[in-house]
Amino acid sequence: MPVKQLRDFLDSNHVRYETISHSPAYTAQEIAAATHISGREIAKTVILKIDGELAMMVLPASQLVDLRHIQGELQAQSVELATEKEFKDRFPDCETGAMPPFGHLYNMKLFSDHALSKDQEIAFNAGNHRELIKLSYDDFVRLAQPKILRLCTVAFA
């Protein structure tokens, strides 16, 4: 079952969504294969430290994180990947690495790569490594209110 906080949030905002169950998978590319959804249509959540503060970034599974590029886009002094130890306590209702991309639910800024807007729907981890939530991209933007930027520069082949 999806994380209760996320499900309650979507239900209270009258959002239509689909829950997709799959065998346990831990990387976005594994999830894409398990669900038969293109890697560019699955969003992965990455936790960064931007000038020492934890922030959430969401990007297509087919994209790679380019920290130097992100640092320039955000005009930050430093950008680095956060370690699991640094962020796991922020997501007590989630399995580590399966956080849904709703920063405000976890008191974090949310940045989204513009490439996600190319699809009408977005699918992402539902707080565990066995389920995805799929909803319209427009509903995601309306509810999550991410800052949309060009964050990634390289895609998997």
pLDDT number for residue 37:
85
Map residue 6 onto helix, strand or coil: helix
Residue recorded with tokens 């989630």: 94
pLDDT number for residue 157:
44
Which 8-state DSSP code applies to residue 71? H
Residue recorded with tokens 């707080």: 127
pLDDT over threshold 70, residue 1: no
**How far is 119 from 116, CA to CA, in rounded Å?**
6
Structure tokens given for 116 = 């996600």
pLDDT over threshold 70, residue 155: no
CATH of the domain at 85: 3.90.960.10
* Total domains, the chain: 1
Tell me phi and psi for residue 60, to 5 degrees. -60, 145
Give the pLDDT band of residue 153 (cuts 50, 70, 90).
low
Q: What is the largest CA-CA distance in the chain?
A: 40
pLDDT in tens, 57-114: 999 988 888 899 899 999 999 999 999 999 999 999 899 999 999 999 999 999 999 9
pLDDT in tens, 17-47: 999 999 999 887 788 888 888 877 899 999 9
> Residue 114 belongs to what domain range?
4-155
Query: Whole-model pTM above 0.85?
Result: yes
